[in-house]
Amino acid sequence: MTYCVGLRIDSGLVFMSDTRTNAGIDSISTFRKMHVWEDPGERVIVLLTAGNLATTQAVVSLLDERSKSIADRVPTLLETPSMYQTARLVGNTVKEVISSHADAGQKADSYFNASFILGGQIKGTPPRLFQIYPEGNFIECSEDTPFFQIGETKYGKPIIIRAYDRAMSFAETAKLLIVSFDSTLKSNLSVGLPLDLMFYEKDTMRVGFKKRIGIDDPYYRTVSDGWSNALKNAFKSLPDFPET
Amino acid sequence: MTYCVGLRIDSGLVFMSDTRTNAGIDSISTFRKMHVWEDPGERVIVLLTAGNLATTQAVVSLLDERSKSIADRVPTLLETPSMYQTARLVGNTVKEVISSHADAGQKADSYFNASFILGGQIKGTPPRLFQIYPEGNFIECSEDTPFFQIGETKYGKPIIIRAYDRAMSFAETAKLLIVSFDSTLKSNLSVGLPLDLMFYEKDTMRVGFKKRIGIDDPYYRTVSDGWSNALKNAFKSLPDFPET
C-alpha cells in the first residue's frame, strides 16, 4: 500500500509520501514515490504515486525520458504551457501505460491501476494541485477541499480535516502531515518509513525544503511519541460519560 | 455503511453501533444494529450487525424466533451452554441465510455479506466477545486485541489503539467510543446518528446501562465540539517542524 498527501497552503504546496511497497505481505521493499522535475526559475512539477509499481515506474520513466530527449514526443513535462496541460500529459501517459499492459499479454490477477497527485507551478501562472485517476482523468483541489490523499487515506484523514488551516506555515503543515502519517503507520503495516517531505514556496519556481525522514529522525520521534501523550491528555480533558 | 464496536474492559463489555443504512447514496434509512437477548440473572447476549440489511435482519429474526418457539430447532440463543456455542449458532445461522439467497433465485449485483460482533455472558462462564464472518466462522478477542470493529473501521481506529486501557471505567470507555464514532461520522456520510450504547457489567447477567444518543444529546455535543478543540490544542502543543 501507500500513503501520499499533497496539500495547498497560502504560502505554497506541501507534499509527503511514504516509501513502502509490497507484493503480498511477504515481499516488502522501499521505493521513492515522490518525483520532482525542476527548471529553476521557470517551473517545478511534483508527482506523488500510488498503486501498481510497474505502472507508476513506467509513467515516471516515460515522463522523465520525454523531458530529456526533445526528439521524442513534445510537449514534455518541462515544456507544457500550463499546469492543466501538465495534468493532461500525465493523465494521457497513465492511460497509455495501463492500457498497454491491460489489453495485451498475460492477464494478471490484480489490476495495473495507479493514482497520482500532481502539483507545481509554471512561471506566470498560479500554483495548482491535481489528483489523477487510473483512467487518466483528473480533478483539481479547491478552496473547500485544499488537499488530496492517495493510497491508505482513511486513518490519517480526521486530523487533517480538523487541524488544517490555509494560513498555516510550512512548519505547522509539516507537523500536521507527520501526525497524519504517524496515525497511518501505526494502523497499517503496508505504509512505512522513511517519509519524503517537500515544500514548494509559491512564486519561487524552485524546489524548496526537501527531506527524507527516517526512523532515527529526532523530530519524527518527538512528534510520534508526543502525539500519543497529547492525544491521551486531550482525551482526559473531556468529561466522562454521565451514566444517567 | 455501518460502524460498530465491541470492547472488553476489566469491568465488562461495552458496545456501540450507529443506525444508518443506505442502498446507494440516495436511499438512507435508520435501523437498529444492536440486538440484545436477556434472561435476567442467567445470560445476556448482544449482537452488533454490519452489511446487507436483508441478511442481518433475517439472521436476527431467525435467532429471535428460535428463542421464542422452543418447538423450533434447539438449542436457541437463550439455551446454548456456552458463549462459544452461541457464536457457533450465530455463525451457522449467518451461513444458512447467506447461502439461501446467494445460491438460488435472481443474482444480485452486490453480495449478501454481513459481519457481526457477538458478546455476552452465560452464568458460570466468563464474559466473551467474538467477531463472526460472513462465512460463519469466527474469532475471539484476546488480551492483545481486546476489541472488534465492523463496517467503516479505519477512521475511528487510531484513537482506540492509543487511548484504550483495560482498566478504564465504563464512563471513560463510553467517552472513547463517542470520540471514535465522531471521527467516523465526520469522515463518512454513510455512518450516522443516532448511536446505540450499551454496557454489560461483568457477572450481573443483566442488561446494564443502555441509551440511544441522538444529535441533541448534550454530552455528545460536548464531546464532539470539545474533541475538535482538544485535538487542535494537542496539535499546537507539539513543536513545529524545524526547517533545517
ipTM summary value: 0.84
State the best of A1, A177, A241 to mutate against chain B, taking most chain B CBs within 10 Å.
Answer: A241
Å between A4 CA and nearest CA of chain B: 17
Question: Do the beta carbons of residue B198 and residue B210 sit within 8 Å?
Answer: yes
Q: Which residues of B touch A (CB under 8 A)?
A: 154-155, 157-159, 161-163, 169-176, 178-179, 183, 186-187, 199, 209, 219, 222-223, 226-228, 230-235, 237-243
Q: What is the CATH number of the domain that holds A51?
A: 3.60.20.10
Structural contact between residues B195 and B213, judged by C-beta atoms closer than 8 angstroms = yes
Residues 6+ apart with CB under 8 A from B126: none
Interface touch B223/A238, C-beta < 8 Å: yes
CA A184 to chain centre: 14
Closest Cα in chain B to A241: B171
Residue A62's domain spans which residues?
A: 3-236
In a domain, B242, yes or no: no
Is B112 part of a structural domain of the chain?
yes
Answer with the residue of higher pLDDT: B66 or B178: B178
Cβ neighbours of B234 in A, within 8 Å: 227, 230-231, 233-234
Query: Within 10 A of A221 (CB to CB), how many other CB atoms are there?
Result: 11
- Cβ contacts of A243 on chain B, cutoff 8 Å: 170-171, 199, 209
Q: Are A152 and A108 in contact (CB under 8 A)?
A: no
Inspect the interface and report whether the beta carbons of B163 and A219 lie closer than 8 Å. no
A175–B240 C-beta distance less than 8 A: yes
Is A154 close to B155, i.e. CB distance below 8 A? yes
Q: Is residue B210 over pLDDT 80?
A: yes
Indicate the SS3 state at residue B47: strand
Please report the number of interchain residue pairs, chain A to chain B, with beta-carbon separation below 8 angstroms: 123
Distance of alpha carbon A115 from alpha carbon A51, whole angstroms: 6
Tens of pLDDT, residue by residue, chain A (244 residues): 899 999 999 999 999 999 999 888 788 899 999 999 999 999 999 999 999 999 999 999 999 887 776 665 557 899 999 999 999 999 999 998 988 877 666 666 557 889 999 999 999 999 999 999 999 999 999 988 899 999 999 999 989 998 999 999 999 999 999 999 999 998 899 999 999 999 999 999 999 999 999 999 999 999 999 998 999 999 999 999 997 6
Q: Do B219 and A227 touch (CB under 8 A)?
A: no
Does B111 have pLDDT greater than 60? yes
Section B210-221 average pLDDT: 95
Residue type, B20: R
Domain assignment present for B188: yes
**Cβ B219–A241 below 8 Å, yes or no?**
yes
Give the end-to-end CA distance of chain A in Å, rounded to a whole number: 45
Q: Is it the case that residue B181 has pLDDT exceeding 80?
A: yes
Give the tens place of pLDDT for each residue, B123-155: 999 999 999 999 999 999 998 889 999 999 999
Q: Which residues pair with A201 in a beta bridge?
A: A12
What is the tally of structural domains in chain A?
1
> Residue A117, SS3?
strand
Q: Tell me the residues of A at the B interface, defined by beta carbons under 8 Å apart.
A: 154-155, 157-159, 161-163, 169-172, 174-176, 178-179, 183, 186-187, 209, 219, 222-223, 226-228, 230-235, 237-243
Confidence of residue B218 (pLDDT cuts 50, 70, 90): very high
Write the pLDDT tens digit of every residue in B222-241: 999 999 899 999 999 999 99
Helices marked H in A12-114 — which ranges? 53-68, 83-102
Instruction: List CB contacts (< 8 A) between A15 and chain B.
Output: none
Q: Say whether A155 and B154 touch across the interface (CB within 8 A).
A: yes
Question: What CA–CA distance (Å, rounded) separates B173 from B7?
Answer: 9
> How many angstroms separate the CA atoms of B124 and A150, rounded?
50
Question: How far is A43 from B198, CA to CA, in rounded Å?
Answer: 58
Is A242 within a domain?
no
pLDDT at site B74 = 58
pLDDT over 90 (residue B68): no
The alpha-carbon gap from B126 to the nearest alpha carbon of chain A, in Å, equals 24
Distance to chain B for A199, nearest Cα, Å: 10
Farthest CA pair distance, chain B: 76
Between A195 and B112, the more confident residue is: A195
**Domain presence at residue B243:** no
Chain A: closest CA distance from residue B46 (Å)? 20
Other C-beta atoms lying within 10 Å of the C-beta of residue B222: 15
The residue among B204 and A65 whose pLDDT is bigger is B204
Q: What is the pLDDT of residue B133?
A: 95
Residue A241 in any domain: the answer is no
In a domain, B114, yes or no: yes
Inside any domain, residue A244: no
Q: State residue B49's pLDDT score.
A: 97
Cα(B136)–Cα(B131) distance, integer angstroms:
10
Cβ separation A226–B237 shorter than 8 A: yes
pLDDT given for residue A22 in this prediction: 87
CA–CA separation, B231 and B47 (whole Å): 32
Which residues in chain B have their CB less than 8 angstroms from residue A223's CB? 238-239
| pLDDT for res A244 | 66
Per-residue pLDDT reduced to its tens digit, B90-110: 999 999 898 887 766 666 655
- In this prediction, what percent of chain B has a pLDDT beyond 70? 93
Cβ contact, residue pair B243, A170, below 8 Å: yes
Residues of A in contact with B226 (CB under 8 A): 237-239
